[in-house]
């Protein structure tokens, strides 16, 4: 497996590239309950809010500075709490299974490289914005406006 660290790979719309090594490209991982992800972030790039329904993730920063966060949800009192941390080279952060989390490079002139291990050979990632705003067929603007408590025109 070669490194994904090439200049053009972080020029996605969100400024990141995730190279996942799971049971698909490496069948020997099947049934072992592990995967690995190499993540490159362009300056000001992010790995947008997402969740892994099948895995806990542990991430370490190899180069640069990374702003990370998780959002907890408490159904009993309807509170959602954001926990954030700024990580530097060598720092580690854990994202519990199923929780929405994010990663952002806050530096405008330096890239970030991180490595993440996941507790499943098929962790799956659900990007929140893509799931909500990119579904086929689309979710009704009326439904989204009510769910996000905004005017219908804000959805477009």
Q: Tell me: is residue 101 an annotated ligand-binding position.
A: yes
Q: Tell me: is residue 88 an annotated ligand-binding position.
A: no
Q: Tell me: is residue 108 an annotated ligand-binding position.
A: no
Q: How many CB atoms lie within 10 A of CB 56?
A: 16
Residue with tokens 């660290």: 5
Q: Tell me: is residue 122 an annotated ligand-binding position.
A: no
CB 93 within 8 A of CB 68: yes
Q: Tell me: is residue 63 an annotated ligand-binding position.
A: no
Would you list which residues are annotated within the binding site for oxalate? 47, 52, 57
Residues making up the binding site for Mn(2+): 50, 52, 57, 101
Positions at the binding site: 47, 50, 52, 57, 101
């Amino acid at each position: 497996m070669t490194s994904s660290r090439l200049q053009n790979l972080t020029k996605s719309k969100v400024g990141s590239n995730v190279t996942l090594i799971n049971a698909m490209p490496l069948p020997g991982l099947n049934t072992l309950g592990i995967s690995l992800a190499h993540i490159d972030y362009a300056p000001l790039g992010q790995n947008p809010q997402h969740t892994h329904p099948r895995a806990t993730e542990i991430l370490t920063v190899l180069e640069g500075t990374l702003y990370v966060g998780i959002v907890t949800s408490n159904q009993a009192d309807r509170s959602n709490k954001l926990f954030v941390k700024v990580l530097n080279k060598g720092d580690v952060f854990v994202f519990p299974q199923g929780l929405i989390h994010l990663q952002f490079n806050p530096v405008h002139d330096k890239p970030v490289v991180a490595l993440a291990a996941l507790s499943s050979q098929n962790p799956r990632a659900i990007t929140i914005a893509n799931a909500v705003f990119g579904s086929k067929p689309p979710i009704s603007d009326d439904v989204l406006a009510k769910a996000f408590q905004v005017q219908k025109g804000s959805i477009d």
